[in-house]
Amino acid sequence: MSPAFLNFIEIFLNGLMAGVMYSLVALGFVLIFKASGIFNFAQGVMALFAALTLVGLQTGQVPFSHLINAIFGTEIHHWGGGMNSFLAILLTMVIMIVMAFLIEKLVLKHLVNQEPIILFMATIGLAYFLEGLGDLMWGSDVKTLDVGIPAGGSFWWEDITREWAASGSEYYGMYIDTLDVTATIVAIILVVALSLFSQYTATGRALRAVADDHQAAMSVGISLRTIWVIVWSIAGFVALVAGIMWGSKSGVQFSLSLIALKALPVLILGGFTSIPGAIVGGLIIGVAEKLAEAYIGVPYLGGAVENWFAYVLALAFLLFRPQGLFGDKIIERI
């Protein structure tokens, strides 16, 4: 194989793996949107908050330490030893579930039957609140997150692919980050587990029922509010997974909440109501971005195409297929 073709494969693979990360965030959006018709702007911040909490617990940070120090003139930072990664992840999950309860109790409950735009605005408020809370609790410095996921280039893959190049050509093998590979595997497990759960359990059926028809769901005895708590908890769990992956890759920092914006083109591509859509949409955006950067950006436009290409792609989709690849066709009765 020629090095040019191998390069293409490398870019393609890396695109796929970047796409998995987008898919993880988009998945949380779709879950909430299907069950409640709410576009949850706070999904990205939830991922950030989960990652912050995880690092905080793991390293044994004292929550609100800056606030406490400012008020009482103390000098506390950490409460001694940290926490086992596994325990910290479990505890973070518990916190995300408590958060789902609170969101239902304090926000959603009071906005039942309101216009979607009002619920959307509420989630924007929620996003800023969570960002502020995360800052206040754990501080705004960039933190490294290490839960023991292998990272760095895979030499094994580099060696194998070096062999593929035609002999005599100067090709040094493909670069693939093992962290990306892990993220991909985790995402696959997550999606399979979620679909098994929704397909074969009573709660899963209830979730699908609510997504399909609110009134009918209530008539068979499903409590919408219970379902919302469950859905937000699951979205919190997905946010935690996304937070761990993104945090391990690029450090836990507040720009993490901006990945929520990248999920938007993913959703426009995949459709707001489709879980496979979120996955495929994420992969397409990831690949398209990387290919555009390598074959349009670098040679012709001086780079940085990666930052805006997803949105252009989404715009094209809005023009020609507004319901996305997998979304339900929107039929409005007039």
Partner 1 sequence: MNVHLKPAQEIRMTRPDDGIKKGDPLLIVDNITLRFGGVKAISNISFDVRKGEIRAIIGPNGAGKTSMLNVINGFYHPQEGTITFRGEKRNKMRPHVAANQGIARTFQNIALFKGMSVLDNIMTGRITLQKRNMLWQALWRGPAENEELEHRRSVEHIIDFLEIEAIRKTPVGRLPYGLQKRVELGRALAAEPALLLLDEPMAGMNLEEKEDMSRFILDVNQQFGTTIALIEHDMGVVMDLSDRVVVLDYGRKIGDGTPDEVRNNQDVIDAYLGISHDE
Q: Which residues bind partner 1 (CB under 8 A)?
A: 196-197, 200-206, 208-209, 212-213, 215-224, 226, 230
Question: DSSP string of 181-210?
Answer: HHHHHHHHHHHHHHHHHHHHSHHHHHHHHH
Three-class DSSP category at 315: helix
Q: At what angle do helices 178-200 and 275-292 cross, to 10 degrees?
A: 160
Within 10 angstroms of residue 307's Cβ, the number of other Cβ atoms is 12
Instruction: Give the list of residues 6+ apart from residue 183 with CB closer than 8 angstroms, or none.
Output: 17, 20, 21, 24, 245, 249
Per the DSSP assignment, residues forming a β-bridge with 56 are none
Query: Cβ 221 to partner 1, closest distance in Å?
Result: 3
Query: Cβ 225 to partner 1, closest distance in Å?
Result: 9
Cα separation of 36 and 128, whole Å? 21
> C-alpha angle 130/314/320, rounded to 5°?
140
Query: Cβ 215 to partner 1, closest distance in Å?
Result: 6
Per the DSSP assignment, residues forming a β-bridge with 10 are none
Which residue, 71 or 220, is less far from partner 1 as judged by CB? 220
Which residue, 161 or 273, is less far from partner 1 as judged by CB? 273
Locate 197 and state its tokens: 């759960």
Three-class DSSP category at 177: strand
Locate 253 and state its tokens: 């920092």
Which residue, 188 or 216, is less far from partner 1 as judged by CB? 216
Which residue, 100 or 127, is less far from partner 1 as judged by CB? 100
Query: Cβ 35 to partner 1, closest distance in Å?
Result: 13
Query: Cβ 47 to partner 1, closest distance in Å?
Result: 22
Query: Cβ 327 to partner 1, closest distance in Å?
Result: 13
Which residue, 275 or 310, is less far from partner 1 as judged by CB? 275
Which residue, 169 or 223, is less far from partner 1 as judged by CB? 223
Cα separation of 102 and 275, whole Å? 26
Which residue, 208 or 249, is less far from partner 1 as judged by CB? 208
Query: Cβ 223 to partner 1, closest distance in Å?
Result: 4
Query: Cβ 232 to partner 1, closest distance in Å?
Result: 14
User: Between the CA of residue 23 and those of 16, 173, 246, what are the distances in Å?
Assistant: 10, 27, 12
Task: Determine if residue 324 is left, alpha or beta; phi over 0 gives left, psi from -120 to 50 gives alpha, anything else beta.
Answer: left
| Residue 270 and residue 162 in contact, taking contact as beta carbons nearer than 8 Å | no
Which residue, 114 or 201, is less far from partner 1 as judged by CB? 201
Which residue, 159 or 328, is less far from partner 1 as judged by CB? 328
Chain-centre distance for alpha carbon 332: 31
Query: Cβ 273 to partner 1, closest distance in Å?
Result: 10
